């Protein structure tokens, strides 16, 4: 019998935002390399990664890694946990094990691109390879460009260009085998990483709402396609109805691939579901668009895309920012959203738009401050989606809502939460107000307030700013910037 020394050297599979086994081309390739696979996840902190996960994302990550380890064990493998700069950790691991290569899924984020480039050199010097594969996006950024080879800056033509790429390839199966390296490697314990929030512990009930991990992602997709997809197009803007997929954290952590999602959704197309599924596809393509933008303009998380907004006279108002964060602005739809965010780690898209618009236009607080709060409190906090969406709302991004279109929180509330169900759920102190006043408690006659048990200024605040004056102030500051 010949002893194949080469085959015993492992390959390293470096899990990042692809915490899944199915339709993971990089993992399948590692599995098919003929080498044992050392599966590793590396936790970076804010010193090396400026966009290390915020509090809510760390909660999700804890549970997702636990789920991934469980899945790997069904294949006879396990997840090794290490902490530090990936360049150093992977150098050490490659040296210690003699790994022939490191495999990973390519990411469009600036920090990942920098790490990948340095890692390529380091591994090269060690005589190991570094192989990245697509899989986080359906369309890699260089594959969707204008006729001149430029990146798209407007969504609809981008969407149409994506549709021209049909039919899409089939998703890949999970590896059937993933042999572990013979030598057992030391791993941190997940609990040691202390990813779960303690002070304050604001995630106590989240496991009732969310099931992080690949199995949870697939169940979530199937229940969405069976129960909500038909009406998605007409109900996706209604925060009072549970009509969207809530797949965003699963997408962010790569527990499900957008390609697999696309194929499963296609298999549900019927004449009644066509509209809903097409509208759902558009949102998936928004995710692709945002990631492409981040790839082409890596400064998106910090700098306004429209440079004139560098001159915008933003206001630093810590007190107002705090009241916005706590859901105490006195505008019920805004407060409901901010409280939903704190209670669940998620906020409905329509309310994200209203709450973000209120912060940047009514309060003139920089969009970066709002994005930072979202970064810390959303379980789906995603550098591309968050930055692009905040800039879209603030009017300084690509294809953005014009700054002068200032959302009226009362009208938005009446239109998208017509019976006030959403506000009553998250702002229970207003629960007994009649529908007519639920989005405008300050306009309620005194005797109705009394009968509803609402004492403004005590149990619920007066509005932080007057809508019309705030609107006029925002437009004046905008004009000043333009001149
Ligand atoms: C100010 C602001 C900040 C946001 N921050 C984030 C963020 O950090 N992470 C995040 O994933 N989304 C963010 N979004 C986009 C959007 O609100 C969420 O993706 C959506 O609410 C998630 O819920 P869902 O999974 O039920 O969405 P669905 O309506 O079911 O959509 C399906 C998927 O499409 C993608 N998607 C939907 N809308 C958008 C969008 N506007 N841009 C990019 N992708 C989209 C998401 O991956 C989502 O899971 C933000 C939006 C705003 C206005």
Same domain, yes or no: 329 and 476: yes
Tell me, using a 6 A CB cutoff, whether residue 288 lines ligand 1.
no
Instruction: Check if 290 has its Cβ closer than 6 Å to any atom of ligand 1.
Output: yes
Q: What is the pLDDT of residue 104?
A: 98
Residue 121 has pLDDT above 60, yes or no: yes
Q: Structural domain of residue 420, as residue ranges?
A: 307-482
Domain end call among 296, 324, 357? 296
How many domains, the chain? 3
Instruction: Give residue 8's pLDDT.
Output: 87
279 alpha carbon – ligand 1 mean position (Å): 13
347 has pLDDT over 90: yes
If you take atom 48 of ligand 1, which residue's CA is the nearest one?
248
- Nearest-atom index, ligand 1, CA of 370: 1
Which of 380, 384, 398 maximizes ligand 1 atoms within 8 Å of its Cβ, making it the mutation to test the pocket? 380
Per-residue tokens: 124: 């090269």
Check whether 6 has a pLDDT greater than 90.
Answer: no
**Percentage of the chain lying above the pLDDT 90 cut:** 95
Between residues 205 and 399, which one has the greater pLDDT? 205
Same domain for 130 and 164? no
Same domain, 223 and 118: no
Nearest C-alpha neighbor of 481 from the set 307, 304, 313, 365: 313
176 inside domain: no
Cα(373) to ligand 1 centroid in Å equals 16
Our measurement of the distance from residue 88's CA atom to the centroid of its chain's CA atoms, rounded to an integer in Å, reads: 27
Contact 22, 173 (CB under 8 A): yes
**Under 8 Å between Cβ of 317 and 399:** no
Q: Is the CB of 353 within 6 Å of ligand 1?
A: yes
Q: Looking at the DSSP assignment, which residues form a beta bridge with residue 422? A: none
Question: Average pLDDT, whole number, for the chain?
Answer: 96
Residues 91 and 154 in one domain: no
Comparing C-alpha atoms, which of 266, 289, 259, 296 is closest to residue 133? 259
Q: Is 57 in the pocket of ligand 1 (CB under 6 A)?
A: no
Provide the CB-side half-sphere exposure for 18 (13 A, CA): 30
**H or E element, residue 106:** none
* Residues 423-438, mean pLDDT to the nearest whole number: 98
Do 77 and 111 reside in the same domain of the chain? yes
| 245 CB near ligand 1 (under 6 Å) | yes
Closest ligand 1 atom, CA of 247?
A: 25
Residue 341 in contact with ligand 1 by CB distance below 6 A: no
Instruction: Assess contact for 395 and 304: CB atoms under 8 A.
Output: no
Strand order through the sheet with 129-133: 79-83, 37-43, 11-15, 101-105, 129-133
Residue 130 lies in a domain: yes
In a domain, 192, yes or no: no
369 HSE (CA, 13 A, CB side): 20
For the stretch 43-77, pLDDT in tens is: 999 999 999 999 999 999 999 999 999 999 999 99
Would you mind telling me the total number of residues written for the chain in this entry? 483
Ligand 1: residue whose CA is nearest its atom 26:
246
Contacts of 464 (CB under 8 A, 6+ apart): 320, 323, 324, 328, 329, 330, 331, 362, 363
Burial 420-445 (b: 16+ CB within 10 A, else e): bebbbbbbebbeebeeebbbbbeebe
- Gap between the Cα atoms of 401 and 388, Å rounded: 12
Whether residues 146 and 131 share a domain: the answer is no
| DSSP 3-state of 124 | helix
CATH code of residue 238: 1.25.40.80
Of 248, 273, 296, the one marking the end of a domain is 296
Same domain, 109 and 146: no
Q: How far apart are CA 91 and CA 88, in angstroms?
A: 5
Predicted local distance difference test score (pLDDT) of residue 459:
96
Cβ of 232 closer than 6 Å to ligand 1, yes or no, is no
| CATH code (residue 58) | 3.40.50.620
pLDDT tens-digit readout, 147-181: 999 999 999 999 999 999 999 999 999 999 999 99
In short, whether 382's Cβ falls inside 6 Å of ligand 1 is yes
Quick one: 252 and 132 in the same domain?
no
Q: Is residue 179 part of a domain?
A: no
Mean pLDDT of 412-430: 98
Shared domain for 113 and 145, answered yes or no, is no
**Is pLDDT of 221 > 90?**
yes
Asked if 65 and 95 sit in the same domain, the reply is: yes
* Nearest partner of 162 among 319, 283, 260, judged by Cα: 283
Asked if residue 228 and residue 107 are part of one domain, the reply reads no
The answer to whether 315 and 360 have CB atoms below 8 angstroms apart is no
Residue 442, pLDDT > 50, answer yes
Structure confidence at residue 220 (pLDDT):
98
pLDDT of residue 2: 43
**What CATH code is carried by the domain that includes residue 471?**
1.10.579.10
Q: Which residues contact 449 (CB under 8 A, 6 or more apart)?
A: 433, 441, 455, 456
Which atom of ligand 1 is the closest one to the Cα of 380?
9
281 and 382: one domain? no
Rg (CA), the chain: 24
Q: What pTM value is reported for the model?
A: 0.98
Q: How far is the CA of 346 from the centre of ligand 1 (A)?
A: 10
Categorize the per-residue pLDDT at 211 as very low, low, confident or very high, splitting at 50, 70 and 90: very high
What's the CA-to-centroid distance between 391 and ligand 1, angstroms?
14
* Distance separating alpha carbons of residues 270 and 416, to the nearest angstrom: 27
64 C-beta closer than 6 A to ligand 1: no
Ligand 1 in reach of 286 Cβ (< 6 A): yes
Judge residue 47's burial from the number of C-beta atoms within 10 Å of its C-beta, 0-12 exposed, 13-18 middle, 19 or more buried: exposed
389 C-alpha vs ligand 1 centroid, how far in Å? 8
180 part of a folded domain? no
Report the candidate in 175, 169, 165, 176 with the shortest Cα–Cα distance to residue 260. Answer: 169
Q: Is residue 111 part of a domain?
A: yes
Which atom of ligand 1 sits closest to the CA of residue 381?
8
- Cβ pair 398, 71 in contact under 8 A: no
pLDDT grade, residue 1 (50/70/90)?
very low
Q: Are residues 333 and 430 in contact, defined by beta-carbon separation less than 8 angstroms?
A: no
Distance 247 CA to ligand 1 centre (A): 9
Residue 393 CB–ligand 1 contact under 6 Å: yes
* pLDDT-derived band at 4, boundaries 50, 70, 90: low
Return the half-sphere exposure (C-beta side, CA atoms, 13 A cut-off) of residue 65: 26
pLDDT at 3: 42
Does residue 36 lie within any of the structural domains? yes
Q: Confirm whether 199 is domain-assigned.
A: no
Give the rounded percent of residues in the chain with a pLDDT score beyond 70. 99
Domain boundary among 296, 319, 348: 296
Query: According to the model, what pLDDT value does residue 199 have?
Result: 85
Going by alpha carbons, the residue nearest to atom 18 of ligand 1 is: 349
Query: What is the C-alpha separation between 374 and 277, in angstroms, rounded?
Result: 28
- 5 falls in which pLDDT band (50, 70, 90)? low
As a whole number of angstroms, the distance between CA 419 and CA 439 comes to 10
């Amino acid at each position: 019998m010949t002893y194949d020394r080469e085959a015993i050297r492992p390959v390293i599979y470096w899990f990042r935002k692809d915490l899944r086994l199915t339709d993971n081309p990089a993992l399948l390739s590692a599995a098919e390399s003929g080498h044992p696979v050392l599966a590793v996840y590396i936790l970076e902190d804010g010193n090396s990664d400026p966009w290390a996960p915020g509090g809510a994302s760390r909660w999700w990550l804890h549970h997702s890694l636990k789920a991934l380890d469980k899945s790997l064990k069904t294949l006879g493998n396990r997840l090794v946990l290490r902490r530090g700069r990936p360049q150093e950790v992977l150098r050490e691991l490659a040296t210690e094990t003699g790994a022939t290569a490191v495999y990973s899924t390519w990411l469009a984020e600036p920090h990942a691109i920098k790490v990948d480039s340095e890692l390529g050199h380091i591994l090269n010097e060690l005589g190991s390879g570094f192989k990245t594969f697509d899989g986080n996006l359906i369309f890699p950024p260089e594959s969707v460009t204008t006729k001149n080879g430029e990146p798209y800056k407007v969504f609809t033509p981008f969407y149409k260009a994506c549709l021209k790429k049909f039919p899409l390839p089939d998703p890949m199966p999970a590896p059937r085998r993933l042999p572990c390296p013979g030598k057992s490697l030391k791993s941190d314990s997940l609990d040691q990483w202390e990813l779960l929030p303690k002070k304050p512990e604001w995630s106590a009930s989240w496991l009732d709402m969310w099931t992080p991990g690949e199995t949870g992602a697939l169940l979530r997709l199937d229940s969405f396609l069976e129960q909500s997809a038909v009406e998605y197009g007409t109900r996706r803007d209604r925060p009072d109805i549970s009509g969207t997929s809530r797949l965003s954290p699963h997408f962010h952590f790569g527990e499900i691939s957008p390609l697999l999602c696309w194929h499963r959704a296609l298999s549900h197309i019927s004449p009644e579901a066509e509209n809903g599924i097409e509208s759902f596809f558009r949102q998936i393509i928004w995710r692709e668009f945002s990631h492409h933008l981040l790839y082409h303009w890596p400064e998106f998380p910090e700098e306004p895309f429209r440079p004139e907004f560098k001159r915008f006279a933003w206001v630093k108002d810590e007190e107002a920012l705090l009241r916005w964060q706590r859901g105490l602005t006195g505008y019920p739809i805004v407060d409901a959203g901010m409280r939903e965010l704190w209670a669940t780690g998620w906020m409905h898209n329509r309310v994200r738009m209203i709450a973000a618009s209120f912060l940047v236009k009514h309060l003139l607080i920089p969009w970066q401050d709002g994005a930072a709060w979202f970064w810390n409190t959303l379980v789906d906090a995603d550098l591309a989606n968050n930055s692009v969406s905040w800039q879209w709302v603030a009017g300084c991004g690509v294809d953005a809502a014009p700054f002068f279109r200032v959302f009226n929180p009362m009208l938005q509330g009446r239109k998208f939460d017509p019976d006030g169900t959403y506000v009553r759920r998250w702002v229970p102190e207003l629960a007994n107000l009649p529908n007519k006043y639920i989005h405008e408690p300050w306009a309620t006659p005194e005797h109705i307030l009394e009968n509803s048990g609402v004492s403004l200024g005590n149990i619920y605040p007066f509005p932080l700013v007057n809508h019309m004056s705030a609107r006029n102030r925002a437009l004046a500051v905008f004009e000043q910037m333009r001149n």
